Each structure stands twice: as C-alpha cells, then as structure tokens.
Amino acid sequence: MKIKSKQDYVESLRQQPLNIYFMGEKVPDRSTFPAFLPHINCAAKTYEMALAPEYEELLTAKSHLTGNKINRFTHIHQSVDDLIKKVQMLRALAHETASCFQRCVGFDALNALYMTTYEIDEKYGTEYFKRLEKYLAKIQEENFEAGAGHWRRHPGNASGGQGSAQPGDRQVRREVPEGHRRCLHRDPHESLATAGEHDRRHRVDREHARRGLSTEPKDHVSKARQIGREDEDGQEDCQNHRVA
C-alpha cells in the first residue's frame, strides 16, 4: 500500500504479519502498543508534515527517476539545494518531535548505496546499481520507511542507527561485557542506562549545562525549540553577512 498519511502508516504496521515480543510478552498489535507509540508518532510526523502546505517544499522533492513528487526521505540528493533542504527538514521535524523520527539512517544509507553500487558496477561490471534503482523506485512510489543499522566494531564505542550488535560468534560469551548492551540502572526520567553510553551522557550533560537546559524532561521540548530558533537566527545572520 502507498503510505501518504499517519493513518496509512499506522495501518501498514498493523497489516504486517510479524511476531513481536516486548519484555518477554508477545505484542498483540504493535500499532497501538504503548511502548511503541513514541516511535510511531515521531515517524508518522514525516508523513503528516509532508502533506502540510507550509512544509511541502522541505519534506517533498521531485524524483530523478520518475519525475513524480516524493517524500524527501526517499530522495537521492541531486544538488546543494537538496542538501540544504535536508538539514532544514530535519530541523523542522526536530522542533515538532524533540526526538528521533526514525528515517534518517535509512535515508543516508540509500544515498550512500546509490553512489557505492554505481562505482562497484563501473569497476567490476556487476548490476547492483540497476537493481538498487528498481528497489529505490519502489520505495519512492510506496513511500516506505527505509531502515538501516550501525554495527559497533569496538566495545568502547557508542553505536547508533536502528540496530547494534557485537560481531562474531554469538554463542560464545564475550570476555568484555560492554561488547553487548546491558542495563546498568533506571531512573525516574529515563527508561534505562546502558553500558558504553557514559561518555555520551557526560557530553550531553555538559551541553545541557552550557545551554541552560534543565534535567526535567518537560523542559526539553520548549528549550530545544528555543535553541533551534536561535540557531536559525544565527544562520540568517551569517547568510546576510556573506551576501553583503
């Protein structure tokens, strides 16, 4: 089904025949399951805002494959303007969600694959690029949410994306416990803290202190929007200075 709206997105999740377990219990309907709703609502914003006239220019683009109007999260960058609009789109979504909206990593992966498969085919005479273009056209037409994951290669490094795992034989218990995610503690304002995140958390705390952010979650959205507006004002000042 082609996904145009939040309702389409939620229905597409409901229709997928997946067996999902959360905390040892099978999830009957992931589209309404409380633990998944924050992700669903944030990802749904990428569809909702694309339909809003005031955000249409940022969240949609013209496909270089078909010429059709598509969601920018399925677009392959064609110009500097595309790159600028990507950043502006991410800022706009961040102001609305104050959270991850789940499509960035897949978006970047599609663009990276588009270049890499072309170069591989040029060198080895393979047909990866042709197959990717066909796959990409399907993603653009249906407005699918593309996903990708990062693999953590060293136990001390933080990982991102939508998946993380220590490479190697998973049957063998690792000598370094930080090789896998594990719960350290919980606190009232966060769901959990995991090994390997301490450096990141310290950096976030320092940045919050520098910008005057409270540790209370209720303050984060308003403060993030305020900081975003300040950053945009700074960008405009820089642009005006360059033009002058």
Query: What domains does the chain contain, in order, with CATH numbers?
Result: 6-142 (1.10.3140.10), 177-243 (no CATH)
Alpha-carbon radius of gyration of the chain:
21
Region of poorest pLDDT, from 20-24, 197-201, 228-232, 237-241? 237-241
Residue 148 burial (10 A CB sphere; 0-12, 13-18, 19+): middle
Q: Which of 142, 80, 72 is nearest to 106 (CA)?
A: 72
Region of poorest pLDDT, from 57-71, 159-173, 199-213? 159-173
Q: What mean pLDDT is predicted for residues 162-178?
A: 51
Mean pLDDT rounded to a whole number for the chain: 77
Q: How confident is the model at residue 186, as a pLDDT?
A: 53
| Amino acid in position 176 | V
The share of the chain scoring above pLDDT 70, in percent, equals: 60
Q: What mean pLDDT is predicted for residues 153-166?
A: 41
pLDDT: is 164 or 210 the higher one? 210
Q: Which of 50, 31, 51 is nearest to 41 (CA)?
A: 31
Nearest-angstrom CA–CA distance, 124 and 224: 47
Residue 75 burial (10 A CB sphere; 0-12, 13-18, 19+): buried
Which pTM does this prediction carry? 0.65
Nearest-angstrom CA–CA distance, 195 and 75: 35
Q: Which of 88-97, 164-173, 227-236 has the highest mean pLDDT?
A: 88-97
Is residue 67 predicted with pLDDT exceeding 70? yes
* Phi-psi domain of 233 (left: phi exceeds 0; alpha: psi -120 through 50; beta: other): alpha
Confidence of residue 188 (pLDDT cuts 50, 70, 90): low
Residues 6+ apart with CB under 8 A from 169: none
Q: How confident is the model at residue 147, as a pLDDT?
A: 81
